[in-house]
């Protein structure tokens, strides 16, 4: 029997030609949909994206570039939003008024996933936890796929997946806010602190978007939540099946915890010591929580304890997350470009005991900076502020900490290099987004790497 895909013959309009939008376009054309790809950027800036889709039949794919006109809805059966497209934009509001269904690439994947999906969200730590769970899975005997908001959209690998595979997907609030019918069978909310309020407007709306990862679970599913995070733990009432917790402070009856310097796993059969906390190469208390979450998720998916432990021991972390770029002249240069909220920057500060030269700035997301300013004033040797946010952060700090304000990241690295001495850490942990000067935090982090590599001085062995 031949099964026809639900998008076959449908007129699908996709807003946004970044990675998610182009992956969905290729998949949809492949299953027989008629696709219109629209992006607010002009054609000259999208030549590469268009070329990547040049092999698709012209009668199945068309482009509307430089705008999102309302006329797109006149020949639209389904409207798909890429992550960067606000769900309250005029075009989306009109689609809702007309009763046109909304979707995105992650939701379309969930509808077709051939094996149970582990979904991971949270305000911080998603990528690290997703990658670590993936490494644990890869150390077992099962084929493991890692994707979503990290790496490849899973739709690109759908044709190669089977029912025995492990599928680990990172999910952002932008993706989850459209999920109104399904949730991953194994799902985690790592934490919940203010983030993306420039997009979601209120903390309640942000939390509501995150909650969709649990809201549609079934009685046989597993929800993983942090016992130490009150905001995320409030979602425990959404768990329809098994609730598993993780904690760095106290034992839990079902999940993972730390006790006497050991990582323990607990379930109805009892408690098992897996390995010392020190076996992990990741730095900082927040990463201890990421490891505990990964342990709980992997165990829920049936990954053997031996593979879980091996994954912990071998995992080096993810680029742009407390990544040591170089040690030179007795100074350690650390790339934490992923820190696009003040809470993430504070977690980075807490990971070090050494004196810190902090590089902070970027673009604000309507965040609250009072707690950041207090901790920075107590903890940081010198603050180098850069980007659009620099002057405002300087006003927030006042005379409570030595500061230098510059315009660019290049200037910030130069100042930090002059200020730093033996035993110091130069830490790029901006607290703001990268969009004042870069396409994303990865491009900003790569520029920091390049700037640090160009500094004068002999390379020191990592120790």
Residue-number span of the structural domain to which 259 is assigned: 106-314
Whole-angstrom Cα distance, residue 263 to residue 372? 30
90, 139: one domain? no
Task: Specify whether 145 is located in the same domain as 64.
Answer: no
State pLDDT tens for residues 342-363: 998 999 999 999 999 999 999 9
Task: Please give the distance of CA 58 from its chain centroid, rounded to a whole number.
Answer: 34
* Residues of the chain under the 50 pLDDT cut: 1, 463
Q: Tokens standing for 177?
A: 């806010």
Range 407-445 burial, b when 16+ CB lie within 10 A, else e? bbbeebbebbbebbeeebbbbbbbbbbbbbbbeebeebb
Annotated binding residues for ATP, as ranges? Answer: 122-128
CATH code of 353's domain: 3.90.190.20
116 and 219 part of one domain: yes
Q: What is the pLDDT of residues 76-104, one digit of tens each?
A: 999 999 988 888 889 999 999 999 999 99
Answer yes or no: do 445 and 339 share one domain: yes
Q: What is the residue whose two structure tokens read 């850069």? A: 386
Residue 5 domain-assigned (yes or no):
no
pLDDT for 275: 98
Which of helix, strand or coil describes residue 81?
strand
d(CA 428, CA 341): 13
Among residues 75, 103, 131, which one ends one of the domains? Answer: 103
Q: Which pair of structure tokens corresponds to residue 429?
A: 């942990």
- DSSP secondary structure code for residue 463 in this structure: -
Q: Tell me, what's the pLDDT at 1?
A: 43
Backbone phi and psi for residue 76, each to the nearest 5 degrees, phi listed first: -135, 120
Give how many domains the chain has, as a whole number.
3
Residue 310 placed within a domain: yes
| Residue 269 located in a structural domain | yes
């Amino acid at each position: 029997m031949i099964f026809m895909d639900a998008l076959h013959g449908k007129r699908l309009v996709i807003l946004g030609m970044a990675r998610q939008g182009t992956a969905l376009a290729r998949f949809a054309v492949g299953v027989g949909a008629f696709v219109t790809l629209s992006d607010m950027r002009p054609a000259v800036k999208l030549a590469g994206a268009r070329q990547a889709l040049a092999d698709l039949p012209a009668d199945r794919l068309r482009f509307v570039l430089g705008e999102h006109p309302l006329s797109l809805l006149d020949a639209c059966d389904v409207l798909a939003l890429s992550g960067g497209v606000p769900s309250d934009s005029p075009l989306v509001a009109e689609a809702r008024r007309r009763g046109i269904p909304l979707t995105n690439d992650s939701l379309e994947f969930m509808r077709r996933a051939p094996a149970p999906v582990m979904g991971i969200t949270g305000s911080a730590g998603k990528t690290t936890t997703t990658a670590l769970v993936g490494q644990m899975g890869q150390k077992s005997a099962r084929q493991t796929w890692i994707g979503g908001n990290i790496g490849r959209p899973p739709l690109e690998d759908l044709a190669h997946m089977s029912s025995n595979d492990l599928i680990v997907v990172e999910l952002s609030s932008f993706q989850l806010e459209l999920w109104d019918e399904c949730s991953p069978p194994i799902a985690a909310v790592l934490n919940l602190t203010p983030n993306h309020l420039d997009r979601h407007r209120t903390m309640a709306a942000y939390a509501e978007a995150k909650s969709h990862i649990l809201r549609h679970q079934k009685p046989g599913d597993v929800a993983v939540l942090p016992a130490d995070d009150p905001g995320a733990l409030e979602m425990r009432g959404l768990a329809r099946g098994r609730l598993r917790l993780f904690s760095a402070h106290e034992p839990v009856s079902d999940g993972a915890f730390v006790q006497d310097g050991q990582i323990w796993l607990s379930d109805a059969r009892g408690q098992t010591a897996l390995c010392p906390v020190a076996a992990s190469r990741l730095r900082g208390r927040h990463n201890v929580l990421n490891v505990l979450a990964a342990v709980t998720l992997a165990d829920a998916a049936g990954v053997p304890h031996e593979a879980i432990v091996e994954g912990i021991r071998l995992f080096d972390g993810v680029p742009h997350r407390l990544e040591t770029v170089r040690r030179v002249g007795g100074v350690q240069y650390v790339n934490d470009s992923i820190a696009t909220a003040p809470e993430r920057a504070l977690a980075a500060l807490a990971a070090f005991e050494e004196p810190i030269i902090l590089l902070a700035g970027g673009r604000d997301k309507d965040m609250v900076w009072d707690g950041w300013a207090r901790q920075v004033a107590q903890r940081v040797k010198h603050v180098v502020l850069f980007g659009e946010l620099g002057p405002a952060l300087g006003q927030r700090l006042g005379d409570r900490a030595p500061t230098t304000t510059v315009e660019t990241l290049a200037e910030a690295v130069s100042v930090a290099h002059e200020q730093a001495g033996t035993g110091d850490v130069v830490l790029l942990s901006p607290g703001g987004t990268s969009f004042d000067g870069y396409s994303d935090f990865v491009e900003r982090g790569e520029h920091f790497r390049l700037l640090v590599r160009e500094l004068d001085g002999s390379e020191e062995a990592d120790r």
